[in-house]
Amino acid sequence: MEFFKIKKDIPFMSYGRLTTSISLITFILAIFFLVTRGLHLSVEFTGGTLMEVQYSQAANVDEIRDDLSKIGLDQATVQTYGSSKNVMLRLPNKPGINTSTLSNQVFQELKQTAPDLQLKSVEYIGPQVGKDLINNGLMAILFVCIGIMLYLAIRFEWRFAVSAIIANMHDVVIILGFFAAFQWEFSLTVLAAILAVLGYSVNESVVVFDRIRENFRTIRGGTVPQVINNAITATMSRTIITHGCTEMMVLSMFFFGGPSLHYFALALTIGIVFGIYSSVLVASPLVMWLGVSRENLVKVKKRKEEAVV
């Protein structure tokens, strides 16, 4: 079986203007949502207490809110998740309240109205921790960018390094844009997903670059756009199949992994879809515009020998 039997190279490079405009528009939209709505950061980053409790019958959310405001927690968010019996409480850090004992206090209070209440999980993050996490997250992204650029610059050429990193940072911003636009919860696991996707879609660019380099060696007399078009067309089948398979795994996590893996899988899905798009249709035109040529990649060794003599 074979899905892609393409006889002629698809002229991807001539769509350059179109693809760049699409990228630019999504990118600007993403920035727009990030600025106007901001990320809905999880408790891990903002600090606060997150409690999951389970009632034996459907929970009365309004009653729970009343109970909480009785002990001075009127800023708490109460919502059900999964089923109407499972309730998630988000309590912000508040000066003056002893946060380390807050969860016990809340649980006792709620237990008065529902004696068979079960505490499923508690997560308390102090204000000091959140700042560290944000710093570490930014450091990690920086480290990945520098590491990947260095590697690509050594293995290929600086033009490839720059285009790959621009293409992939554009993915990261778009994922963040989605999280801002729909106000999905941005947690540490989502951050991990973003970094994983960053490495993964660079790998996508690498496959195309590898082919471009090979083509410069084997296709004599082709123009640069022709060489790139051929490289993309040749690797397209692999690109779609690979990403399709990875996406199957990600969807499996999305459907079977429960709430903890929900946004993780979502971030990966967006990352994979835009990863294909950007590494093929953003990174490659960028390489071309940065002026890549055969001489950059296929080193002429003769001159070196002469110099020695």
Partner 1 sequence: MSKFPLWKYLLILGAVVISFLYTIPNFYGEVPAIQISSLRSSVIISDDTINAITQNLQKSGLNPTGEVFDGKTLKFKFTNTDIQLKARDLIQQTLGDNYVVALNLISATPDWMSNINASPMFLGLDLRGGVHFLLEVDMDAAVKKTMNKYVGDIRRDLRNNQIRYGSVAVDNDSSILIQLRDVVTVNQSIQQLSKDFPKLSTSIEGTNIRVTISQDEMQVIKEAAVKQNILTLHNRVNELGVAEPIIQQQGPDRIVVELPGVQDTARAKDILGRTATLEVRMVDDDATALSQAQSGNVPSNDQLLDEVNNDGSSSKILVKNDVELTGDNINDAQAGFDENGSPSVNISLDSTGAAIFKQVTGDNIGKRMAMVLVDHGKSQVVTAPVIRSQIGGGQVQISGAMSVQDANDVSLLLRSGSLAAPMNIIEERTVGPSLGEENITKGFHSVLWGFIAISIFMCIYYRVFGVISVISLGVNLLLLVAILSMLQATLTLPGIAAIALALGMAIDSNVLINERIREELRNGQKPHTAIESGYEHAWATILDSNITTLIAGLALLAFGSGPVKGFAVVHCLGILTSMFSAVLVSRGITGLLYANRRIKKLPI
Q: List Cα–Cα distances, 83 to 11, 56, 80, in angstroms.
A: 51, 11, 7
Whole-angstrom distance, CA of residue 248 vs CA of residue 255: 11
Query: Which residues make Cβ contacts (< 8 Å) with residue 201, sequence separation at least 6?
Result: 167, 168, 171, 271, 272, 274, 275, 276, 278, 279
Comparison of 13 and 208: residue with beta carbon closer to partner 1: 208
Q: At what angle do helices 259-281 and 16-36 cross, to 10 degrees?
A: 150
Q: Which residue, 58 or 154, is less far from partner 1 as judged by CB? A: 154
Q: How many helices (H) and strands (E) does the chain have?
A: 12, 6
250 or 281: CB nearest partner 1: 250
CB of 127 to partner 1, least distance (A): 8
Pick the closer one to partner 1 by CB: 14 or 252.
252
Q: Least separation, in Å, of the C-beta of 9 and partner 1?
A: 14
| Closer CB to partner 1, 21 or 121, in the complex | 121
Own/partner contacts of 68-74, CB < 8 Å, gap of 24 or more, are 68/106, 68/109, 70/109, 71/105, 71/106, 71/109, 72/97, 73/106
* Residue the block writes with tokens 């909480």: 68
Distance in Å, CB of 295 to partner 1, minimum: 21
Task: Provide, rounded to whole angstroms, the least separation between the CB of residue 95 and partner 1.
Answer: 14
What is the nearest approach in angstroms of partner 1 to the Cβ of residue 119?
Answer: 6
In the complex, the smallest distance separating the C-beta of residue 45 from partner 1, rounded to whole angstroms, is 12
Cα separation, 57 vs 116, whole angstroms:
10
User: What is the rounded CA–CA span in Å between residue 67 and residue 76?
Assistant: 11
* 17 in Cβ contact with 85 (< 8 Å): no
CA separation for the pair 188, 208 (Å, rounded): 31
> Judged by CB, which is closer to partner 1: 248, or 300?
248
CA angle 6, 8, 9 (to 5 degrees): 95
State the amino acid at position 9 in one-letter form: D
Question: Nearest approach, Cβ of 273 to partner 1 (angstroms)?
Answer: 14
Identify which of residues 63 and 132 has a Cβ nearer to partner 1 in the complex: 132
Query: CB of residue 98 vs partner 1: minimum separation in angstroms?
Result: 10
The sign of the dihedral angle between the CA atoms of 179, 61, 43, 118 is negative
Nearer to partner 1, 33 or 170 (CB): 170
